[in-house]
């Protein structure tokens, strides 16, 4: 009865008022839709502008190498021309913090999680963890790792954690790492007795890996053995002994400078290889340290002396160099003062490669890929540290660039007391 031809409802539906209202509604909907379309277009165009063209990724981790050791950061004791060049032609980060010790940092780096979530004990990466290698492998990258492992002695550990190829020290055992080293190639032991230098063989693998996969996309994780104690001569040292066996021969802190310069030389060889292969422009290079320098090393830094603080929950133990160099990013010579942490590496390199992280994935990292491209980004304001070398009672604190609060109530103004 309500909808008969002459009913009040029918007359209302046919009224000029309603027709004008409907036209207004439709016009509004069209405008809204058009605006949404324009927004989508702008976002899509922006994503295209920012999207990577699947760069190769080389992530280099130096062992026991603090912020003060690189010339580009103000270091005055060591010659680091190749690292200085990476910094000068890329983005140099002033405030990168990691864990005070190697294994804790490596877990954070590889999983993007704070140690409080997955750290069990020194030298163990829990088998249930997902690493950055898994993400790259799933995205079709060839994945490789070479250098120091220290994350479990199972022969299949590197492959289990996403690496197609592995050439490692301290994987299934712990032989010497420098002169006359013992290494493992995909779990198979290789021992050298004719004066060979372990870091050279690791570097040869890195050069070979990028050469073999130059026509593909690759992710190479290069956790170097240098510059960790024992401080021993390198092949460039006057007193290098090809007959030296073991880690207590000719051991002295004076060799740290030679080891630093040799590490820099090996990085230079890798960069030169990428240039020779004509893939340097499409290769993202990331370099950082895994923790502070050994306390036995005192360096000259920005006009004063600086003692290393490995193992300490202070800047001496946790502040490390970070250089990110990607020619296509167009951010050469930038210095970034944002706070960056080891857990941020995973989301950053995934963003660089266009690898999405699932919404239900737990991560403590914040991508700083925009900063690598010279943009503001959304940097973290604080860094949280839970550190327990052997998984027992932990040192725990939160810090910004200016203040630091420990779980036991200790509170520090880092601008007045940086250490």
Beta strand pairing call for 319-325 and 283-289 = antiparallel
pLDDT, tens digit only, all 419 positions of the chain: 433 444 444 444 444 443 444 334 333 333 334 333 333 333 333 333 344 479 999 999 999 999 999 999 999 999 999 999 999 999 999 999 999 999 999 999 999 999 999 999 999 999 999 999 999 999 999 999 999 999 999 999 999 999 999 999 999 999 999 999 999 999 999 999 999 999 999 999 999 999 999 999 999 999 999 999 999 999 999 999 999 999 999 999 999 999 999 999 999 999 999 999 999 999 999 999 999 999 999 999 999 999 999 999 999 999 999 999 999 998 899 999 999 999 999 999 999 999 999 888 899 999 999 999 999 999 999 999 999 999 888 999 999 999 999 999 999 999 999 99
- Length of the chain (residues): 419
pLDDT at 392: 83
Q: Would you say 137 and 164 are in contact if contact means Cβ atoms under 8 Å apart?
A: yes
Q: How far is CA 414 from CA 39, 318, 323, 411, in A?
A: 43, 14, 23, 9
Exposed/middle/buried for residue 374 (C-beta within 10 Å: 0-12, 13-18, 19+): middle
Task: Match 């539906």 to its residue by tokens.
Answer: 13
pLDDT at 221: 99
CA distance 295 to 306: 10
Plot region of 54 (φ>0 → left; ψ -120 to 50 → alpha; else → beta): left
CA torsion, ordered 44, 46, 50, 51, to nearest 10 deg:
10
pLDDT at 358: 87
Task: Please spell the DSSP secondary structure of 70-132, one letter per residue.
Answer: -GGGTB-SS--HHHHHHHHTSEEEEEEE--SSHHHHHHHHHHS--HHHH--STT---TT---H
Q: Whole-prediction pTM value?
A: 0.88
pLDDT at 161: 98
CA-based max dimension of the chain: 110
352 contacts: CB under 8 Å, gap ≥ 6: 52, 55, 57, 284, 326, 369, 372
pLDDT at 53: 74
Task: Match 């193992």 to its residue by tokens.
Answer: 311
CA distance 291 to 102: 6
Count CA atoms closer than 13 A to 132's CA, side-chain side. Answer: 30
């Amino acid at each position: 009865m309500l909808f008969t031809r002459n009913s009040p409802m029918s007359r209302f539906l046919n009224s000029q008022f309603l027709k004008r209202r409907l036209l207004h509604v439709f016009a509004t909907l069209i405008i809204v839709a058009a605006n949404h379309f324009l927004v989508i277009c702008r976002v899509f165009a922006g994503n295209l502008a920012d999207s990577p063209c699947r760069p190769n990724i080389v992530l280099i981790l130096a062992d026991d190498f603090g912020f003060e050791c690189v010339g580009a950061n103000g270091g005055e004791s060591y010659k680091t021309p190749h690292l200085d060049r990476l910094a000068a032609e890329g983005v140099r980060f002033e405030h990168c913090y990691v864990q005070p010790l190697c294994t804790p940092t490596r877990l954070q780096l590889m999983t993007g999680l704070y140690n409080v979530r997955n750290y069990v004990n020194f030298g163990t990466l829990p088998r249930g963890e997902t690493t950055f290698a898994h993400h790259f492998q799933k995205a079709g990258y060839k994945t490789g790792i070479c250098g120091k492992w220290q994350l479990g002695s199972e022969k299949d550990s590197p492959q289990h954690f996403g690496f197609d190829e592995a050439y490692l020290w301290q994987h299934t055992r712990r032989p010497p790492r420098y002169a006359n080293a013992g290494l493992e190639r995909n779990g198979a032991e290789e021992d050298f007795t004719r004066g060979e230098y372990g870091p050279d063989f690791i570097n040869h693998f890195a050069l070979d890996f990028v050469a073999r996969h130059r026509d593909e996309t690759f992710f190479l994780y290069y956790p170097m053995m240098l510059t960790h104690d024992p401080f021993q001569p390198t092949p460039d040292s006057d007193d290098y002994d090809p007959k030296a066996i073991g880690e207590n021969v000719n051991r002295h802190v004076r060799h740290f400078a030679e080891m630093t310069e040799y590490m820099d030389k090996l990085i230079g060889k890798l960069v030169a290889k990428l240039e020779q292969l004509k893939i340097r422009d499409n290769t993202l290079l990331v370099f950082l340290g895994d923790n502070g320098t050994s306390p036995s090393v005192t360096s000259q830094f920005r006009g004063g002396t600086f003692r290393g603080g490995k193992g300490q929950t202070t800047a001496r133990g946790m502040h490390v160099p970070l250089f990110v160099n990607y020619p296509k990013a167009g951010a050469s010579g930038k210095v970034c003062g944002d706070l960056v942490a080891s857990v941020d590496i995973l989301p950053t390199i995934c963003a660089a490669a266009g690898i999405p992280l699932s919404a239900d994935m737990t991560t403590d990292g914040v991508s700083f890929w925009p900063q690598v491209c010279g943009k503001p980004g959304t940097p973290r304001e604080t860094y949280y540290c839970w550190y327990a070398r052997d998984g027992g009672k932990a040192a725990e604190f939160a810090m910004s660039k200016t203040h630091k609060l420990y779980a036991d109530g200790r509170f520090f103004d880092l601008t007045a007391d940086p250490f």
